[in-house]
Amino acid sequence: MKKVILSLVLAVSIVLASCPICLVSAEEKTLEPKNFEEYAEILESEGYTMPENGKQAEKSVFSRKHFNFVTDDVIGEICSYIKEESSLDILGLITSVPETNQGVEFVVETFDINTTVIRDALYELRYKMDDQGNQPMAVLFYFMGLYFSVIEECKAYCVPLEEENVYEIALDIRLKDGTVETITTGVVFNSETGQTYGKSGNGILGTGYGFSIPEVLLYSQVNAWTRDFGFCLFYDIFSYTTPFFFYNTRRIKFDYDGLEWMIQIWKGNYIISNGAEVGIYSRDESRFGTYYDCATDEQMMEMSMELYHGDDLIFSRPKQLHWWLTGFRITDNLYPAKTMTLKFSIDMKDEEMLDAFCNAIDNHYRRDMSYTVDGLTVNVIW
């Protein structure tokens, strides 16, 4: 079976490690340029080509080379599989990222920066931010330290874990001074099931999403970061104003157990995927407006879904306890939302909740969707 991993995660890691970051320099040398003309002369003396007449020359500083990224056989096979199934060339995207080492080396030499000293100083700030619980800033200082140490190569490879057929992705970043920094990404995949997910349960690299390589399918995990932000009408309005989302949505609202509940469903195009969502939300009856809280662990329900285009199944998600069941299948064939059919099931808490949910469909969406009931399970077709 094809071994698997969400290679997009690697792209995120590499982009972070290769983005130019401004930094106040250390001791300056007499070589420091005082104006653009001197800067151009220094570059020319170093053998670089500067922009001519305001236009970038063909062989400019940042277009001579591309980022040096290599993988082991497993990850290479995974990327090839994704390209074959969805036309998404992950390795091609990563290896086409312009290499900025020449620019970094110029800055290091011009301002006489000791890369080891500055890396240690930035790492010290990184550990300080870690101790304060400021993970984003800790990551930023870490990658700044790597960046100004001049990255020569990044290798992605698989590390076996104790569980059979389960691996974690690691990155070896080789710096110009010979130092090799190893990053354990927390990205785990199972070579038997084809599922890729975050080791901490909050998604790959904390994104909130897992990935199924066999289906080329992105899906939300229970502890997604978006759970802290609830949902309101503005989110949909904003999505409609962008060129990335073209979907239909319905809001099934009802009262139960002293709360206002909303089961919202979506189907349509999400950037380069055909996708669908079923979300569970609630709020106190005294509140007004369109904002709802995401369901708590106690409010989650067993759900499943299938998305079709005509009679063709696009993807399915197995029954599971969730508050936001999703699927986004990456493909080069995007279908209008109105030509897709979403079938989903949801297990209600009791008879009272079952009646409230079904009445909401009957009163507002009887011409738009249909349903059947099996015990406390409602099977909806939209």
For the chain, give every domain's residue range.
7-191, 215-381
**Residues 168-205: pLDDT tens digits?**
999 999 998 889 999 999 999 888 888 899 888 888 88
Query: pTM value?
Result: 0.71
pLDDT higher for 373 or 150?
Answer: 373
Is the model more confident about 67 or about 316? Answer: 316
pLDDT given at position 166: 92
Between 30 and 78, name the one with better pLDDT.
78
pLDDT higher than 80, residue 60: no
Whether 61 has a pLDDT exceeding 70, the answer reads no
Q: Residue 329 is which amino acid?
A: R
| Neighbour order of strands in the sheet with 377-381 | 312-322, 301-309, 340-347, 377-381, 370-374
pLDDT band at 1 (very low <50, low <70, confident <90, very high): very low
For 273, residues 6+ apart whose C-beta sits below 8 A from its C-beta are 218, 328, 329, 330, 331, 334
Looking at residue 31, what is its pLDDT?
Answer: 54
**Cα dihedral sign, 345-236-274-336:** positive
Dist. CA 213–CA 226, nearest whole Å: 23
For residue 214, pLDDT beyond 60 = yes
SS3 168: strand
Residue 23 is encoded by which pair of tokens?
A: 């930094």
Q: pLDDT band for position 239 (50/70/90)?
A: very high
Residues 6+ apart with CB under 8 A from 329: 215, 216, 217, 218, 273, 274, 275, 307, 314, 315
Cα dist from 232 to 99, 235, 244, 276, 299, whole Å: 42, 6, 19, 18, 18
Encode burial over 201-228: b for 16+ CB neighbours within 10 A, e otherwise. Answer: ebbbbbbbbbbbbebbbbbbbbebebbe
Q: Alpha-carbon distance 269 to 379, whole Å?
A: 23
Residue 65's pLDDT band, with cuts at 50, 70 and 90, is low
For the stretch 80-103, pLDDT in tens is 888 888 778 888 888 887 777 778
d(CA 46, CA 33): 13
The answer to whether residue 25 scores a pLDDT higher than 70 is no
